[in-house]
């Protein structure tokens, strides 16, 4: 018998990562694991592995718009935006977001690959500020991304987050996975939510090693919980708890490989296959 219960639907606009560590595959896994249904529209194709991005191939804006137009049978309850690689795809993302007034928009600003490759430009960041940021309900940058989005005018993360909200962004969840905040313990990860009315801070045990796709996982899970009707603070709490577990259960595809990172296991609750190699 077909399931008649209506699932919350999340529309994802992000790049495709063939490794599955980040991008559309990661988003779809996280959204499904958190009880929602993912719709995926690629903004770019990439050549990459768990360590770094080699090539980025932006998708045509008209193709993205056509994909979105074909999904009218779904009632979208949240939108998650990841990598936006050029001005044409940014314009398409903005056009698609405008199709869903009142639907919460979660943006994970992917600016640099784990191996250091730049995935954006000053021109694209300026256009992001002007065209997309005013439509964002919650932005989820790490501390490095927050600094790059706001430049050198501000002295601390709070001032930087306030500056982004002054441009129209409704809330900023600053993640501390990349570097500890000043005065915080080195063995803790601090995430800070900034809103116009109040703020909230969470601490999580810092896991050893580096991970490819933690930001995607957090933002996608957050979008899924918002789609299900959770409040912003509750959605942030649930998304962090889920993401931490995916990292704790993460795996490294090539032990000892230079530059390789661990990948979050977003479906860790499902049983692992039996090892038949012994």
Note the pLDDT tens digit of each residue in 72-124. 999 999 999 999 989 999 999 999 999 999 999 999 998 755 544 555 678 88
Mean pLDDT of 245-260: 77
In terms of average pLDDT, the best of 4-13, 59-68, 81-90, 260-269 is 59-68
* pLDDT > 70 in the chain, percent: 89
Q: Is 90 exceeded by the pLDDT of residue 222?
A: yes
Tell if the pTM clears 0.75, that is, is over it.
Answer: yes
107 three-state secondary structure: strand
Q: What CATH architecture does domain 9-248 belong to?
A: 3-Layer(aba) Sandwich (3.40)
- For residues 80 and 32, what is the distance between their CA atoms, to the nearest angstrom? 13
- For residues 204 and 161, what is the distance between their CA atoms, to the nearest angstrom? 21
pLDDT of residue 6: 85
CA angle 104, 4, 74 (to 5 degrees): 35
CA angle 38, 44, 45 (to 5 degrees): 95
Q: If pLDDT is split at 50, 70 and 90, which confidence band does 252 have? A: confident
* Contact yes or no for 210/262 (Cβ under 8 A): yes
Mean pLDDT of 218-241: 97
pLDDT of residue 276: 43
Q: Is 70 exceeded by the pLDDT of residue 275?
A: no
106 three-state secondary structure: strand
> What ranges do the domains of the chain cover?
9-248
Q: If pLDDT is split at 50, 70 and 90, which confidence band does 7 have? A: very high
Note the pLDDT tens digit of each residue in 115-166. 445 556 788 889 999 999 999 999 999 998 999 899 878 889 999 999 999 9
Q: If pLDDT is split at 50, 70 and 90, which confidence band does 208 have? A: confident
- For residues 72 and 87, what is the distance between their CA atoms, to the nearest angstrom? 25
pLDDT of residue 24: 96
Note the pLDDT tens digit of each residue in 42-76. 999 999 887 778 889 999 999 999 999 999 999 99
- Angle of helix 232-248 versus helix 23-33 axis, rounded to 10: 110
Any residues with CB less than 8 A from the CB of 275 and at least 6 apart, and which? none
Mean pLDDT of 10-36: 96
pLDDT of residue 111: 72
């Amino acid at each position: 018998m077909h399931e008649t219960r209506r699932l919350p639907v999340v529309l994802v606009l992000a790049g495709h990562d063939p490794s599955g560590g980040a991008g559309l595959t990661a988003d779809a896994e996280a959204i499904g694991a958190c009880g929602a249904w993912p719709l995926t529209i690629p903004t770019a194709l990439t050549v990459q592995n768990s360590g770094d991005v080699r090539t980025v191939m932006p998708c045509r804006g008209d193709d993205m718009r056509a994909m979105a137009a074909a999904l009218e049978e779904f009632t979208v309850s949240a939108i998650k935006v990841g990598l936006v690689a050029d001005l044409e795809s940014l314009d398409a993302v903005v056009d698609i977001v405008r199709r869903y007034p009142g639907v919460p928009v979660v943006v994970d600003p992917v600016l640099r690959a784990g191996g250091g490759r730049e995935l954006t430009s000053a021109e694209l960041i300026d256009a992001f500020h002007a065209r997309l940021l005013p439509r964002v309900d919650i932005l989820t940058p790490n501390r490095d991304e927050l600094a790059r989005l706001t430049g050198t005018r501000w002295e601390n993360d709070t001032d930087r987050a306030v500056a982004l909200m002054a441009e129209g962004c409704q809330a900023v969840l600053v993640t501390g996975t990349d570097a500890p905040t000043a005065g915080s313990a080195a063995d803790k990860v601090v995430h800070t939510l900034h809103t116009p009315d109040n703020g909230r801070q969470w601490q999580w045990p810092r896991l050893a090693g580096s991970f490819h796709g933690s930001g995607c996982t957090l933002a996608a899970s957050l979008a899924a919980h918002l789609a299900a009707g959770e409040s912003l603070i509750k959605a942030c709490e649930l998304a962090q708890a889920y993401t931490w577990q995916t990292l704790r259960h993460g795996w490294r595809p090539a032990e000892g490989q230079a530059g390789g990172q661990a990948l979050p296991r977003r479906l860790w609750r499902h049983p692992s296959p039996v090892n038949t190699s012994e």
